[in-house]
Amino acid sequence: ELKVEQNPLFLSMQEGKNYTIYCNYSTTSDRLYWYRQDPGKSLESLFVLLSNGAVKQEGRLMASLDTKARLSTLHITAAVHDLSATYFCAASTSTSYGKLTFGQGTILTVHP
Partner 1 sequence: SAVISQKPSRDICQRGTSLTIQCQVDSQVTMMFWYRQQPGQSLTLIATANQGSEATYESGFVIDKFPISRPNLTFSTLTVSNMSPEDSSIYLCSGENNYGYTFGSGTRLTVV
Kindly state the smallest distance separating residue 48's Cβ from partner 1, in Å: 4
Of 13-21, 51-59, 64-72, 100-108, the window that binds partner 1 (rule: CB under 8 A) is 100-108
Q: For 27, which DSSP code?
A: S
Out of 3, 8, 18, 41, name the contact with partner 1 by CB under 8 A: 41
Using the 8-state DSSP alphabet, how is residue 38 labeled? -
Distance of CA 49 to the CA centre of its chain: 10
Answer yes or no whether residue 2 interacts with partner 1 by CB under 8 A: no
Does 33 bind partner 1 (CB under 8 A)? Our answer is yes
Answer for the pair 105, 38: CB distance below 8 angstroms, yes or no. Answer: no
13, 64, 88, 108: which one binds partner 1 (CB under 8 A): 88
Rounded to whole angstroms, the Cα distance separating 80 from 13 reads: 9
Triad 63, 41, 83: Cα angle to 5°? 40
Q: Is the CB of 48 or the CB of 54 nearer to partner 1? A: 48
Give me the half-sphere count of Cα atoms (radius 13 Å) on the Cβ side of residue 83. 27
**Shortest separation between residue 59's beta carbon and partner 1, angstroms:** 17
The footprint of partner 1 (CB under 8 A) covers 31, 33, 35, 40-43, 45, 48, 88, 90, 97-105
